[in-house]
Amino acid sequence: MQAGGDIALALHHAHAAQPPLLELVKDAMGAASPAASVRPAPDVPEPDDEGPLYVARRKIYPQRVKGTYRTIKWIVLFVTLGIYYGLPFVRWDRGPGAPDQAVLIDFPNRRFYFFFIELWPQEIYYLTGLLILAAMTLFLMNAVAGRVWCGYLCPQTVWTDLFQTIERWVEGDRREHLQRDRQPWTVERLGRSGLKHVLWLMLAWWTGGAWVLYFADAPTLVKELATFEAPLLAYVWIGILTFTTYTLAGHMREQVCLYMCPWPRIQAALTDEHALNVTYRYDRGEPRGSVKKSAALRVQGMPAGDCVDCYQCVYVCPTGVDIRSGPNLGCIQCGLCIDACDTVMAKIDRPARLIAYDTDLNIKRRQEGQPELYHIVRMRTVFYAGVIAIVAAVMAYALATRQSEGISVIHDRNPIFVRLSDGELRNGFTVRILNKSLERRSFVLTVEGLADIDLKIVGDTVTSGPMAVITVGPDQSHELRVLVSTYSSLPPAASIPLTFRITDAQTGQRASAVDHFRGP
């Protein structure tokens, strides 16, 4: 009993991020129970804090697995890829003269269309709101269930999953692929490898091809691409994205998560003891050993864990992590090891969820005989949800009350003012009038702030007096040079606020901007 207790205690400490102890524990287990043989996993690195700074990459051969989380991953994969590949072809009627693509980034005309929303460059602040929403959603997901984003939604995960599936189709499952890779090159092996890379490149090409469809009318661009009449830039971008997809998802895979992506580091700093993470319940699994050995130990009243040390959880892991070693930067929390272990538990007639979404806190509480505690509603989740709600509400209000007209004014930099021969003082401004509606509109431009004002539009010899009428085409902006003059006497170094106002001649809708009239 004492030996078993020591082992369990040592394992608890080993789990608390002291990997070298794991080796000692395995030794202790072997000494205490010869039947608890540890089957080596040839392609699985053992945790070792004192190892070299640089470790050569070990190729990972993830094994196929079935189960709840694998099904969830398939569903998420099909939904997200379906949206990505299909969205450019969704139509949205915006009226005559406007593009009918639901989601379109129109660089030539400097517009972003998202279903009923049309954003102009002046409204880039909506992007800030979107980024805040995205960051807070990521933080909330992390506070509730760890790296859900990494495990299910991240493009790197989704495409890597797809590339690995193709690899398994062509090269076989883990064991077959491993054996094939150990054999010398043959025509058959070359053929399989070639087929895999061709399929990968085709998928990568589709990925890049779908991306460019967001920047032009998709059906038209598809025709142009097929007939080699598309702009050169489209082919260049497809080439770049084909290369990056093929490299990142086909070759680099888990290396992106381990070495390139900052999120695992940020996530580790943001998590807390209540966040649900894929966790090996070592309180239940240890001391690990073979089925027979564990059964024998139980008969003798000795402690025996449910883990049969079969390494199935490691073999299915897309990043090659042994979840039993505790929290790991390489674990993307995909849940596939849960499915693998559940299958093993079903076979040996032990309860499922030896690996599960759980917390270290609960393991500790169970060991102390206390009930489990799931604490989803807490300060940080309430804070993140609150920020999301506020930012979403502000954005919704801003969109709902968005004006369909606008004006911006820039004072001439040089000269700041001009004194004419008849004594009149003149300032020059560049005025841009925006018409965001889909109809041609006439705006009355007025300038307020000085008692005696004369407006002149450069190029317009007719307009003279305190106002001008400007016509702007549908969904367009119109830039004009406006000269504002006055005979009024101004104080020295005057800087008088001027309000430039446009008023729709038909509807009366208004917009204004403020600049200053400068004097000597």
* Stretch touching ligand SF4 by CB under 6 A, among 126-134, 157-165, 303-311, 511-519: 303-311
Nearer to ligand SF4, 71 or 476 (CB): 71
Decide: is 485 part of the binding site for ligand SF4 (CB under 6 A). no
Give the pair of three-digit tokens for residue 326: 């505790």
Which of 11, 22, 297, 307 touches ligand SF4 (CB under 6 A)? 307
Quickly list DSSP for 443-504. EEEEEESSSS-EEEETT-SS--BSEEEEEE-TTEEEEEEEEEEE-S---TT-EEEEEEEEEE
Nearer to ligand SF4, 166 or 317 (CB): 317
Nearer to ligand SF4, 140 or 308 (CB): 308
Decide: is 278 part of the binding site for ligand SF4 (CB under 6 A). yes
Decide: is 65 part of the binding site for ligand SF4 (CB under 6 A). no
List 504's β-bridge partners, or say none. 443
Decide: is 257 part of the binding site for ligand SF4 (CB under 6 A). no
- The minimum distance between CB 222 and ligand SF4, in angstroms, equals 37
Decide: is 339 part of the binding site for ligand SF4 (CB under 6 A). no
Decide: is 326 part of the binding site for ligand SF4 (CB under 6 A). no
The whole-angstrom separation of Cα 81 and Cα 161 is 12
Nearer to ligand SF4, 4 or 146 (CB): 146
Quickly list DSSP for 351-369. -S-SEEEE-HHHHHHHHTT
Which of 241, 334, 356, 434 touches ligand SF4 (CB under 6 A)? 334
Nearer to ligand SF4, 241 or 316 (CB): 316
- The minimum distance between CB 320 and ligand SF4, in angstroms, equals 8
Which of 145, 166, 341, 447 touches ligand SF4 (CB under 6 A)? 341
Which one, of 278, 312, 502, 520, lies nearest residue 409 by Cα? 502
List 117's β-bridge partners, or say none. 114
Decide: is 321 part of the binding site for ligand SF4 (CB under 6 A). yes
Q: What is the 3-state secondary structure (H, E, C) of 191-225?
A: HHHHHHHHHHHHHHHHHHHHHHHHHCCHHHHHHHH
Chain Cα centroid distance, residue 344: 34
The whole-angstrom separation of Cα 95 and Cα 117 is 13
- The minimum distance between CB 146 and ligand SF4, in angstroms, equals 9
Give SS3 for 414: coil
Decide: is 21 part of the binding site for ligand SF4 (CB under 6 A). no
* Stretch touching ligand SF4 by CB under 6 A, among 39-47, 166-174, 337-345, 491-499: 337-345
Decide: is 335 part of the binding site for ligand SF4 (CB under 6 A). yes
The whole-angstrom separation of Cα 294 and Cα 256 is 39
* Stretch touching ligand SF4 by CB under 6 A, among 266-274, 318-326, 379-387, 408-416: 318-326
Q: Amino acid identity, residue 25?
A: V
Per rule CB under 6 A, count of chain residues that contact ligand SF4: 29
Decide: is 331 part of the binding site for ligand SF4 (CB under 6 A). yes
How open is the CA angle 294-297-298, to the nearest 5 degrees? 85
On the CB side of 127, CA atoms within 13 Å amount to 9
Name which of residues 346 to 405 contact ligand SF4 (CB under 6 A).
354-355
* Stretch touching ligand SF4 by CB under 6 A, among 40-48, 72-80, 331-339, 401-409: 331-339
Helix (H) or strand (E) holding 106: strand 103-106
Nearer to ligand SF4, 344 or 472 (CB): 344
Q: Are 246 and 201 a contacting pair, CB within 8 Å?
A: yes
* Stretch touching ligand SF4 by CB under 6 A, among 109-117, 121-129, 201-209, 307-315: 307-315
Decide: is 337 part of the binding site for ligand SF4 (CB under 6 A). yes
Q: Are 449 and 427 a contacting pair, CB within 8 Å?
A: no
Backbone Cα Rg of the chain: 33
Residues that bind ligand SF4 (CB under 6 A): 278, 280, 285, 307-313, 316-319, 321, 323-324, 331-337, 340-341, 344, 354-355
